[in-house]
Amino acid sequence: MILAGGFALEILWYGFVIVLLSSRPARVAYERFGFWIERTIGTVLAAFGLRLISEKL
């Protein structure tokens, strides 16, 4: 029963996120700032990768 409830919550949450992010204002904002959003996320992920590499050395 707990597993089914968790599954239902996941479906509801991701459904809400899909509806929210596919709305017109969200798409316009991403079209406007998408380049910088992607560049920022890429930089953060690269920094995390470099940190992991440096910890293993």
pLDDT value of position 14: 97
Amino acid 1: pLDDT: 84
Provide the whole-model pTM: 0.64
Q: State pLDDT tens for residues 2-56.
A: 899 999 999 999 999 999 999 999 999 999 999 999 999 999 999 999 999 999 8
- Measure the CA–CA gap between 57 and 39, rounded to whole angstroms: 27
Please return the burial class of 16, using the count of CB atoms within 10 Å of its CB with bins 0-12, 13-18 and 19+. Answer: exposed
- How much is the pLDDT for 39? 98
